[in-house]
Amino acid sequence: MEKNVHLFVRTYPGLGVAAHVLTHPHLASFAPTLNAARLDIAAVVGRLLKRGELWDEETHWSDLRQRRTTLTVRALEHGKMLSVPLRLTVLTHGAKSRAPRKEASGHRSLRVWVPRVDVQGTLYDEADLEPYVEELVRHELYLAPLDRLRALAYVGEEQVETLSVPVRFRDTPRARAGDSVKPQRRQAPPPGLAEASRCLNEEARAGLLERAWERDTEVSRLAEAVTSRTRASVLLVGPSSVGKTALVHELVQRAEAATKGSPLLGMEVYSSSGNRIMAGMRYLGQWQERVKQMVEALRIRRAVLHLDSLSELLSLGGGDTGLDVARQLLPALESGEVSLILEATPEDVARAERTHAAFLQALRHIAVAPLSPHSARTALQQASHRVGRARKVRFMPEALDRADELTERFGAGPSPGGAVSLLRAASTEPCTAGEVDAASVTRAFCTRTGYPRELVDTAIRLDPDALLRRFRERVVGQDEATLLLRNLVVTLKTGLADPARPLGAFLLLGPTGVGKTESALALAEYLFGDVARLARFDMAEYAAPGSAARLVGDAGGQQGSLTRRVREQPFGVVLLDEVEKADPGVHDLLLQVMGEGRLTDATGRTVSFRNTVVLLTSNLGADSAGRSLGFGEPGVREREAHYLGAAAAFFRPELLNRLDRVVPYRALTPDVIASLARRTLEAALAREGLRRRGVTVTFGEDVVEHLARVGFDARYGARPLKRAVEQHVVAPLSQWLAAQSSSTPPQVKLGVGVEGRIELSGLG
């Protein structure tokens, strides 16, 4: 027997292929090739079919059609309306309407999907398809945040494919040829649970859940609580990534393996989240009705509901009524009708005690502490065997040591969770004879984080002097700042950085245009291989009272600009420009970032800054530097004392005390300005348009001196240099080349004419 399903496939050039079953989006795979993704999904679907699931569900239509549509939706960003164009795939298939009136008139209904937006509907007149799709999408994305629309702006290839999954039922040996054999079907979850949760028992039978190694005590306590006659609900309390979710997964797997007489036999666990409960709820009373249906279904089935974030649950649904999701669930918890398992960090619990004390009292608290080093090592070995069997590789002992070392040094969470994740990534690296060694783990870590190999691999020597020269070539004339960058990298190389704080937290003080931003770019490019790893925020935009909320989001679900960026890419450089202009509430947030290496957003989720360099810039003290320091070139100590005094007069002591260092930047000297002018000019003359034409451009020192003179402003430093090069060199050169008709690649010489302007002359 076989079952046909539709797959919705998206190709990401250079990354891989994502595919999911059209009617069951949670049955998905991301793989290097389409064939690998098809095999992954076929294996999971096959296991579900053998258990009797999916057989009665429509998953394939012979008349499914695909088309593309383009529409523009409006987004809300910082109080402004922005237009965002989207190109979306629309899927349709026609079938006889089940409504007697429509059936009698011969009309056909049209089922419509927009998979990327995850909306669908039914239409009776195909001529209305385009406006109908537009209304569906606009309704779903009404005033959506710009970040969500950007996530939907996929421009790769999308298609629908048919996957045929053959299944053999070996447990019917006496079936005669021609007999119709169908497996026993499980009862489908009722409305409410089916819409807002997923059944972890199904995922356990498909082999998709984690194991909780070395956690027998915690699992036993959890099992005892949820199977007791009083039906206790449980709050698992522990640091992020300590393994709270793995405990729930282990409980479900033990329930699936339970034998007669075990209290776990037949126990069902459904997993959801606050956002999933609220998904699609647009009108007053909708989410309350959904929660009511869920509670009733859980009560009838004696099932357990798992929610992965206490803070998220407490933040949703309240509005002006004061009746949020947690308070809606409270009566069922107190009566013992429903059993919940929730997860929280200690910080989440401390905040919840101020607003939801009664809800917390209805839960039995189970502490989940990090494993001891010995237990963590044993758990890592057991997890590596399981991953190795699944990936058909063998992990060498030194690979486990390397994974443990890297996750400990760079704060990827308590062992073994972070180390296991790194081993999974290393198993896809090229390896010899199916063996994963320490080098493969190192390569996987560098690929994931962007760190250069010489920084991570202890077997590779890092030359501090060469590194200092590299930074000084990039940031000209700022010896103290480049020395700081070099020392930061060396500290990370030797593993001496404080793992409980950001990689570095520095205040860069000095005039405009002297290299503060360039320092941040140079550091991001070296540490993480890409200047895009620099997250830059202009603090002048956060000067209004209450602006700090825009950095961390709000309880209504709007993500914070800072927390979202660091959550998406925890390895990077955060640059807060002109930090003195920010609202004092922003400075309060920085105390948590620089002191504890983390920041809690409006929904209670904690974002780690422990793999981030935090740079603050300011012009404080720049205007008075000349008067304070006197004539001549001041020493390093005098300049540092001046700027430190300016910072101390403005910022609160607790903020300054959390900085690693205040770094003074000096005003640019004529020699530095000339060097920057030469570098800016050389960069402009190396552009692709000149290389393609084969144009050779030469210039003398008079051109450099002229650009240094017209491109420098004492108020703005070296920033006008680029504009001067564009105006005095690039624009005239473009006009001159456009007027040339010769096919011979010209040679051009730049010089300064008698009128004091740059002139061009052809040499060939």
CB neighbour burial string for 147-174, b if at least 16 within 10 angstroms, e if fewer? eebeebebeeebebeebebeeeeeeeee
Q: What is the pLDDT of residues 624-677, one digit of tens each?
A: 665 444 444 556 677 778 888 889 999 999 999 999 999 999 888 888 888 889
Instruction: Give the C-alpha separation, 22 to 163, whole Å.
Output: 11
pLDDT value of position 534: 94
The CATH number of 193-367, from 2.60.40.10, 3.30.465.10, 3.40.50.300, 3.40.50.850, is: 3.40.50.300
pLDDT value of position 189: 55
The correct answer on CATH 3.40.1010.10 for the domain covering 464-664 is no
Q: Which residues of the chain have pLDDT under 50?
A: 96-106, 170-186, 319-322, 627-632
Token pair listed for 436: 């994963």
Give the three-class secondary structure for 89.
strand
pLDDT value of position 100: 43
Element (H, E) at 333: helix 325-335
Give the three-class secondary structure for 597.
coil
pLDDT value of position 191: 58
CATH topology of domain 670-762: Helicase, Ruva Protein; domain 3 (1.10.8)
Report the 3 state secondary structure along 645-691.
Answer: HHHHHHCCHHHHCCCCEEEECCCCCHHHHHHHHHHHHHHHHCCHHHH
pLDDT value of position 742: 60
Contact 740, 754 (CB under 8 A): no
pLDDT value of position 256: 92
pLDDT value of position 502: 93
Query: Is the dihedral angle over the CA atoms 192, 198, 201, 202 positive or is it negative?
Result: positive
Q: 193-367 with 670-762: one CATH topology?
A: no
Taking alpha carbons only, the member of 115, 137, 99 closest to residue 8 is 115
Q: What are the sequence ranges of the domains in the chain? A: 1-170, 193-367, 373-449, 464-664, 670-762
Q: Distance between alpha carbon 685 and the CA centroid of its chain, in Å?
A: 38
Q: What is the pLDDT of residues 57-72, one digit of tens each?
A: 888 888 888 888 888 8
Taking alpha carbons only, the member of 166, 136, 141, 119 closest to residue 4 is 166
Supply the CATH classification number for the domain 373-449. Answer: 1.10.8
